[in-house]
Structure formats: structure tokens, C-alpha cells
Amino acid sequence: MPFSSALWMAASLLWILDASINTSMEPFRAFVGDKLPEEQRTTGFVMQSFFIGVGQTLANAAPFILATLGVTGVMASGIPNATLYAFIIGAVAFLVTVLWTVFSTKEYPPEDIEEFRRKQSEENVVGHIFKEIWDALKDMPTTMKQLAVVQFFTWFALPCMWQFYGLAVARHVFLAPDEKSPLFAAGTEWGGLSFAFYNIGCFLVAFLIPPIANATSRKTTHFICLALGGLGLLSTCFAHDKYFLWVGMAGVGIAWASILSMPYVILAGAIKSSRMGVYMGVFNLFIVIPQIVMSLIVPQIYENILGKDPLNVVLLGGFVMLIAAFSVLIVKDVGAANIDTTVPSASAVAGNELVEENGYKK
């Protein structure tokens, strides 16, 4: 991407990168659902939230760290070398870590491996994939449909923050008169730093989510976290000091930790293990579609209804995230009834595989 010679090339590579990340992430989420019993899934998905938060924090900080270590100069395009090296480090990290998981993680085979292989040999692979997706959409569990509503409002709200937060900070906190002002650059930079702060908050609070879920419920936990995220975005309206922004970002960080884990925990408990992979993939549509809807709607209402003010878009995101929080209350967490509350044996705690019971090896 740093070597792109035109905007269309950079945009195309960004789409490829986004598709690659989504394609690699969903099987890993299915791994967690496949390999862990119901009572361990909250912790399993929260571990993913933790490492995503750590990775995003390091990614945001990478150019600053490299510059601090003495990386100077710019490319012919004007892109700093620190940014170039950050992209290279990210590419290597992405490839190595995905391959590490692929080669080091044991995947349980289907119960009837011979039947599975027979179907593979008889069916056209591409046709089978589309048939599997179509069947999954037709037979979608009620819990997944309810979660789709939560995901729609959640992922409509997030781009409102990602795209307009820095602009809102520059205009209303740093009081930049226009985009050419040094205050504008300082404000957007501070907005980016605030994003790093919410990612830090994400991995710091990730391990608090399982005990909260155990003390309340998984639905209640996700409701609280999304509500804190919505209130965090709304608090931007009252931010006249740049450090106060981090209070709101702390709420967003808590919401982000839950967004990356709790919907998948609830979903995994509502679907059959044999369709875990396809449903995790389909579930990704409920992330992509609302972002497309947001990108189509907000530009149409930005100049009139939203007064051409980026802060109003951020506040819209806050209100929509609160709607997402309340929509959690309609979700039926069917998997919660299957949680084993008995005390595990010492060997199970140590991670030794015992007999297979109810489709899980404990």
C-alpha cells in the first residue's frame, strides 16, 4: 500500500487487505467455538479481544515508536519512512501469526469423517459453498437473527466515530478555524491518539468481562458495555479539554472489548457445531452491511440534518450505540442454559484432553 502510485490502487489494496483480515478472522472465531465448552467460551473470545486490543495499540503506536528509535526521512510520495516500515512490520506479523495458528492448532475432524470425505468428492466445491451459505441463511437460528439487530446498530455507530471523531476534536476541542490551520493537524492527531487510548482500554478491561458475565449474564454484560460506549461518544459534546476526551474513550474501549467477544459467545451457544464455520462467516455480513448503510446515509444527511458538523455525526453514533445496547435485551441467549457450573477436575483445569462428552473434549 505505501508504494501505491494512485489513489485507486491504494483503495483497491485496502479492500483486499480488509477482505483478507475478515476471511482469516472468522475461522479463528469458529475455532474458539469448536474447541471450547460453553462455560469456557466467554474467556476464549475475550482472549481474542485482549490480543486484538494489544495489536491495535501497537499498530497505532508503531510509526511513533519507529520515529522515536531514529527512523527518519520520507518516500518520494511524501509518506514518512516510519509509516512505510510500520506497514512492512504489519505485513510480516499478519502472515507469520496466521500461519502459526494454521500449523499449530489442532482441528477436531467431523464425527463421521468417511461421510464427510464422500460428500467432498461428490459435490462441486464452489457450488457446495454457495449452497451451504444459502441453507445457513434459510435456517438461521432465532438468536442469530436477534443478534443481527444488535450488530446492525453497533456497526452503524462505529464508523460514525472512526470517520468523524478526529474532525470533531479538531473543530470543537482545538477550535481549528479551517483545515489549513495548525490546530486542525494537532486536533486530528490527538483524535488518533485517543483511538490508541480506547484500544489500550480494550485490552485492560478484557479480563474483567468473564467475571462480570458470570456474576450477571452475558446479555447484561454486553448491554452495560455498549451503553458505556454510547455514553462515551455522547460525552464528546461536553469535552472542552483534550484530556477529558479520554474519559469517553475509556467507555468506548469497554464497549470495544465486548463487541469483539460477547456477540460471538452468545452466537456460538445457539448454533450447531457442524455449522459453526459457515455461521461465523455469515455473521460477518452483519458487520459489513451496516457500515455500507452508514456510508450511504450519512453523506446524504451531513449538510442539512447534521449541519455539516462532524460532532453531530459522532453524537449520532452515540445514540445509535445506545439503541444497540437496548436491542441486546431482545436477544435470547439459549447457550447460557448449557453452561456447566460444576467444579472442573484438576486435569481439566490443567488442559488435559479427557473423554469426549457432548461433542467437546474436556
The verdict on residue 98 lying in a domain is yes
Phi, psi at 100, each rounded to 5°: -60, -45
Residue-range definition of the domain harbouring residue 37: 8-102+129-335
pLDDT 10s digits, 83-100 = 889 899 999 999 998 899
Q: Are 319 and 230 in contact (CB under 8 A)?
A: yes
Cβ of 233: how many Cβ atoms within 10 Å?
Answer: 28
Res 48: pLDDT: 81
Res 128: pLDDT: 65
- Is residue 159 very low, low, confident or very high in pLDDT (cuts 50, 70, 90)? very high
The verdict on residue 354 lying in a domain is no
Length of the chain: 362
pLDDT 10s digits, 226-244 = 999 999 999 999 998 899 9
Residue with cell 494454521: 102
Q: Which three cell numbers stand for residue 31?
A: 475455532
38-68 and 7-35 helices, crossing angle to 10°: 150
Phi, psi at 300, each rounded to 5°: -75, -25
- Cα-based angle 85, 99, 50 (whole degrees, multiple of 5): 75
pLDDT value at 114 more than 80 = no
- Is residue 346 very low, low, confident or very high in pLDDT (cuts 50, 70, 90)? very low
pLDDT value at 344 more than 60 = no
The verdict on residue 360 lying in a domain is no
Tell me the three state secondary structure of residue 272. coil
- Is residue 352 very low, low, confident or very high in pLDDT (cuts 50, 70, 90)? very low
The verdict on residue 353 lying in a domain is no
Question: Count of domains in the chain?
Answer: 1
Q: Read off the pLDDT of each residue in 248-254 and give the average, rounded to a whole number.
A: 94
Q: What is the mean pLDDT of the chain?
A: 83
- Among the residue ranges 41-55, 74-88, 128-142, 216-230, the one predicted with the least confidence is 128-142
- Report the CATH number at residue 146: 1.20.1250.20
Write down the H helix ranges in the chain.
7-35, 38-68, 81-104, 113-122, 125-138, 142-172, 182-205, 209-215, 218-234, 245-259, 262-268, 276-283, 285-301, 310-327, 346-350
Q: Which three cell numbers stand for residue 96?
A: 507469520
The verdict on residue 359 lying in a domain is no
The Cα-based distances of 339 to 66, 133, 315, 346, 357 in angstroms read 46, 28, 38, 19, 13
Please, which residues bridge with residue 74 across strands? 80
The verdict on residue 305 lying in a domain is yes
The verdict on residue 171 lying in a domain is yes
- The letter for the amino acid at 292 is I
Q: Are 159 and 294 in contact (CB under 8 A)?
A: yes
Q: Are 255 and 225 in contact (CB under 8 A)?
A: yes
The verdict on residue 162 lying in a domain is yes
Q: Are 221 and 213 in contact (CB under 8 A)?
A: yes
pLDDT 10s digits, 268-310 = 888 877 777 778 778 888 888 999 999 999 999 999 999 999 9
> What is the C-alpha separation between 264 and 279, in angstroms, rounded?
10
Cβ of 21: how many Cβ atoms within 10 Å?
Answer: 12
* Cβ neighbours for 7, distance < 8 A, ≥ 6 positions apart: none
